[in-house]
């Protein structure tokens, strides 16, 4: 058992002691997974749509958000609808989706989860540099740098998930087909296979969860400290400008709970599934004989899937431009009150410039007309 989403639960002679989900719970599981899949697909599809549709949303930072939404789309397509049937629905654990999907299933969902975690890291690192080094233009994220970062996350994710592509296969027992891993297909003997399985599982846990989480905690901690302790410049400015700067300064402080929420949700949603599939099942295989192992898997896996469902709502409520784009796309809904473009209009105006200036002023120690002009282009992406 290696991939954190791998739903293969090996059963032994004590299988008859397992407590399977009752029919009502199975119906609930189907409804729950279907609902999560639909909401995650629609939400992330909307995010992809509005970022590609509106020119003012095609910023370097939003390119990373686009990559994260694509990763969550992959989870909503390949993981949520397929991952639970052979674990908690069919008691014989049969695989009904064919050999091709068996080969691609764990591979694609592992790629998606790696993409999700490391794109979160890239976004946090981008915000860290933007806030901690505002006066260093060459550190500013450009579209070219964002593109290369996306390529690196994809290459790394595919590389880490590649063993699953070669290891997964269909096994036939009588008239029942099951889908599972067999790392002996990689040319390992019995002893080497066990060593590789343990090493690979530990690597997944470290590189897919622990290291990204550590980076998120460090970067967002520094971001929060910098925002909370930053002094508002503009002592030599007029009272009206100082008031606007102070208002922006206070609004920035309100972002601290949001950036902390991103890290907390990631950590909380994926911790149970990571511990179960990459630590307990591999290093303490006796847990597979626990009477409620299927219920434990169901709860931990559902919680992990919830992360891809909630991400679009975070973008919507924390990014006013994305929110305006989504409201425009969904303006036909009676509860969507779209009143025209305010942040996405392709025009040059005083308000747009002032927003960029005040965003920059919240973090720079000195003020002045020359500095204000140079900071407008830096802050317009956030």
Tens-digit pLDDT string for the chain (382 aa): 444 445 455 444 344 578 888 899 999 999 999 999 999 999 999 999 999 999 889 988 889 999 999 999 999 998 899 888 988 898 888 899 888 888 888 899 889 989 988 988 888 888 787 777 766 677 778 899 999 999 999 999 999 999 989 888 888 888 888 888 888 877 777 778 888 888 888 898 999 999 998 998 888 888 777 777 665 555 555 565 555 445 444 544 545 566 567 678 888 898 998 888 888 887 888 888 888 899 999 999 999 999 899 989 988 888 888 899 999 999 998 888 888 888 887 655 433 333 333 333 333 333 333 333 333 333 334 3
Q: Report residue 148 as tokens.
A: 């290369």
Give the residue carrying structure tokens 């004590």. Answer: 14
For residue 1, the SS3 value is coil
Range of the domain at 307: 13-379
8 in any annotated domain: no
What is the C-alpha R_g of the chain?
24
313 in any annotated domain: yes
Q: How far apart are the first and last CA of the chain?
A: 41
Q: Which residues contact 219 (CB under 8 A, 6 or more apart)?
A: 124, 125, 127, 128
To the nearest 10°, report the CA torsion of 310, 315, 320, 323: -60
Residue 369 CA to residue 376 CA, distance in Å, equals 11
State whether the Cα torsion 92-97-99-104 is positive or negative: negative
pLDDT score of 233: 52
Phi/psi region, residue 179 (left: phi>0; alpha: psi -120 to 50; beta: rest), is: beta
Summarised one tens digit per residue, pLDDT across range 342-366 is: 888 765 543 333 333 333 333 333 3
Q: Report residue 264 as tokens.
A: 């907390």
6 in any annotated domain: no
Summarised one tens digit per residue, pLDDT across range 115-154 is: 988 988 888 888 787 777 766 677 778 899 999 999 999 9
Give the residue carrying structure tokens 């898997």. Answer: 297
Residue 370 CA to residue 368 CA, distance in Å, equals 6
pLDDT score of 109: 86
67 in any annotated domain: yes
1 in any annotated domain: no
CATH number of 282's domain: 1.20.1070.10
pLDDT score of 230: 61
Summarised one tens digit per residue, pLDDT across range 3-50 is: 444 545 544 434 457 888 889 999 999 999 999 999 999 999 999 999
pLDDT score of 174: 82
Residue 279 CA to residue 253 CA, distance in Å, equals 38
Cβ neighbours of 36 (radius 10 Å): 21
317 in any annotated domain: yes
160 in any annotated domain: yes
Cβ neighbours of 81 (radius 10 Å): 16
H or E element, residue 38: helix 23-53
Task: Enumerate the H helices of 142-238 as residue ranges.
Answer: 143-167, 190-205, 211-229
pTM reported for the whole predicted model: 0.78
Residue 277 CA to residue 297 CA, distance in Å, equals 9
Phi/psi region, residue 182 (left: phi>0; alpha: psi -120 to 50; beta: rest), is: beta
- The number of domains in the chain is 1
For residue 336, the SS3 value is coil
Q: What is the DSSP string of 227-294?
A: HHHPPP--TTS-HHHHHHHHHHHHHHHTHHHHHHHHHHHHHHHHHHHHIIIIIIHHH-GGGGGSTTHH
pLDDT score of 222: 83
pLDDT score of 242: 52
């Amino acid at each position: 058992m290696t991939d954190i989403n791998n739903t293969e639960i090996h059963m032994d002679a004590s299988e008859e002691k397992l407590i399977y989900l009752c029919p009502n719970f199975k119906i609930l599981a189907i409804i729950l997974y279907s609902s999560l899949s639909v909401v995650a697909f629609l939400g992330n599809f909307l995010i992809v749509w509005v970022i590609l549709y509106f020119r003012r949303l095609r910023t370097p930072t939003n390119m990373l958000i686009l990559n994260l939404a694509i990763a969550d789309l992959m989870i909503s397509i390949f993981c949520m609808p397929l991952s639970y049937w052979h674990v908690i629905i069919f008691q014989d654990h049969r695989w009904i989706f064919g050999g091709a999907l068996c080969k691609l299933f764990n591979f694609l969902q592992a790629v998606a989860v790696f993409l999700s975690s490391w794109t979160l890291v890239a976004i946090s690192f981008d915000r860290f540099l933007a806030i901690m080094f505002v006066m260093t233009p060459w550190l500013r994220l450009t579209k070219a740098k964002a593109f290369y970062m996306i390529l690196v996350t994809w290459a790394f994710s595919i590389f880490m998930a590649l063993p699953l592509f070669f290891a997964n296969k269909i096994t036939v027992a009588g008239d029942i087909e099951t889908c599972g891993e067999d790392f002996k297909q990689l040319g390992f003997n019995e002893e080497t296979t066990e060593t590789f399985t343990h090493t690979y599982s530990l690597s997944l846990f470290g590189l897919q969860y622990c290291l990204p989480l550590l980076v998120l905690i460090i970067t967002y901690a520094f971001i929060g400290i910098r925002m909370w302790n930053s002094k508002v410049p503009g002592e030599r400015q007029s009272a009206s400008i100082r008031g606007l700067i102070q208002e922006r300064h206070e609004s920035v402080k309100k972002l601290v709970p949001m950036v902390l929420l991103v890290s907390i949700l990631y950590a909380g949603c994926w911790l149970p599934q990571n511990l179960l599939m990459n630590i307990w099942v591999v290093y303490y295989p006796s847990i597979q004989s626990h009477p409620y192992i299927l219920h434990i898997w169901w709860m931990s896996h559902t919680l992990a899937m919830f992360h891809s469902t909630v991400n679009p709502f975070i973008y919507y409520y924390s990014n006013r431009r994305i929110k305006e784009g989504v409201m425009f796309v969904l303006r036909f809904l009676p509860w969507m009150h779209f009143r025209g473009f305010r942040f996405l209009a392709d025009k040059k105006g005083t308000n747009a410039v002032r927003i960029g200036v005040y965003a920059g002023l919240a973090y720079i120690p000195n003020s002045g007309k020359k500095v204000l002009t140079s900071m407008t282009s830096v802050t317009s992406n956030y």
